[in-house]
Amino acid sequence: MSKQSRSAPGQVPGRVFSHLGVAVLWLLHWLPMSALAPLGEVFGGLLYRVARRRRHIVDTNLRLCFPELDDTARHALARRHFLVLGRSLLERSLLWWAPRSRIERLVRFDGDGRVRELLAAGRPVILLAPHFVGLDMGGTRVTMAFDIVSIYARQKNPVFDRWLLHGRSRFGNQLLLAREDGVRATVKAMKAGRPFYYLPDMDYRRKDSIFVPFFGVPAATITGLSRLARLADAAVVPCVTRMLPGGQGYRVEFGEPWADFPTADIEADTARMNRWVETVIRGMPEQYYWVHRRFKTRPAGEPRPY
């Protein structure tokens, strides 16, 4: 057998299971939301029981961010998180295959006129979109209304990478940049009239990051919001996607453009962003993406909490 035809150990079974997973999602997208939503919660409940490592990450994040919660309340919040996480994973099938008309019915806009007014006036726009479980649903709905620029991180699983990329570029003329494409390409796209769908609240290690409080805990946070807003003279518009209960779908909420931003103090700007994310989280704490190791990068001398 030639080297080209050999597969790495475990690669073929892994791809088979990935294709099976995609096939199951394709079947699920035919279900009405009234059936898909509770099925997703059942899936999330199963994840809560079997995904021990992720459950530990969620519990650690909640313990750090909500020290006022006792064990019972914290575990209840963790379980609610897995229920909505399970929903978001199964409902992603709609983003990959459902017709445009169905997604438009399921994902409603609130306040998008603010974005249109800014663009009509020639002002670059940054859509500040934290990592809530409805992020991809909201992002796809945004692409139906605007041709945007966004950063796409390639997934380790090539099968799911292909479909995730497909879902994010199905509609309109979207510009998806790799992180290494740099600031210049992003600023150029914004100045050409593309809103930047910006996801700023992951731990990307130390590059371009500073430590600012997140729920009172020092968190490595990228400073891109302040820098990009300054370079592009862009308005920062909060953009939060809220998962609605039952089969009601989702709502994308566009807030008022931030006043007095950016300032000359990048650290203060970045801390302001984190405080705003905290405020939104407190309104729907189960919907934040707690399975991410938000505090994995620590200041010198501090132990890693996970």
Q: Residue 7 above 50 pLDDT?
A: no
The pLDDT > 90 percentage for the chain reads 81
Residue 2 lies in a domain: no
Q: How far apart are CA 151 and CA 197, in angstroms?
A: 8
Residue 256 lies in a domain: yes
Average pLDDT over residues 117-127: 98
Number of domains in the chain: 1
According to the model, what pLDDT value does residue 11 have? 55
Residue 182 lies in a domain: yes
Q: How far apart are CA 220 and CA 206, in angstroms?
A: 7
Alpha helices in 51-181 (DSSP H): 52-65, 71-97, 100-106, 113-120, 135-145, 158-168
Q: How far apart are CA 82 and CA 266, in angstroms?
A: 35
Q: Residue 2 above 90 pLDDT?
A: no
**pLDDT tens digits for 145-182?**
999 999 887 778 888 888 888 888 899 999 999 877 87
Query: Is the bond preceding 262 in cis, omega lying within 30 degrees of 0?
Result: yes
Q: Residue 267 above 80 pLDDT?
A: yes
According to the model, what pLDDT value does residue 155 have? 77
Q: Are strands 196-198 and 217-222 parallel, antiparallel or unpaired?
A: unpaired
Q: How far apart are CA 197 and CA 239, in angstroms?
A: 9
Write out the residue range of the structural domain in which residue 23 sits. Answer: 17-287
Is residue 161 within 8 Å of residue 154, measured between CB atoms? yes
Nearest to 223 by CA among 211, 214, 213, 234: 211
Average pLDDT over residues 45-62: 98
* Residue indicated by tokens 């609240």: 201
Helix (H) or strand (E) run with residue 222 in it = strand 217-222
Residue 178 lies in a domain: yes
**pLDDT tens digits for 60-116?**
999 999 999 999 999 999 999 999 999 999 999 999 999 999 999 999 999 999 999
Is residue 57 within 8 Å of residue 292, measured between CB atoms? yes
According to the model, what pLDDT value does residue 5 have? 40
Residue 59 lies in a domain: yes
Residue 209 lies in a domain: yes
Tell me the whole-structure pTM to 2 decimals: 0.91
According to the model, what pLDDT value does residue 129 have? 97
C-alpha 166: how far from chain center: 16
Average pLDDT over residues 264-285: 98
According to the model, what pLDDT value does residue 4 have? 41
Residue 302 lies in a domain: no
According to the model, what pLDDT value does residue 233 have? 97
Residue 139 lies in a domain: yes
Categorize the per-residue pLDDT at 12 as very low, low, confident or very high, splitting at 50, 70 and 90.
low
What is the sign, positive or negative, of the torsion defined by CA atoms of 257, 260, 263, 267?
Answer: negative
**The token pair that represents 251 in the structure block:** 């709502």
**pLDDT tens digits for 211-261?**
999 999 999 999 999 999 999 999 999 999 999 998 899 999 999 999 999
Categorize the per-residue pLDDT at 13 as very low, low, confident or very high, splitting at 50, 70 and 90.
low
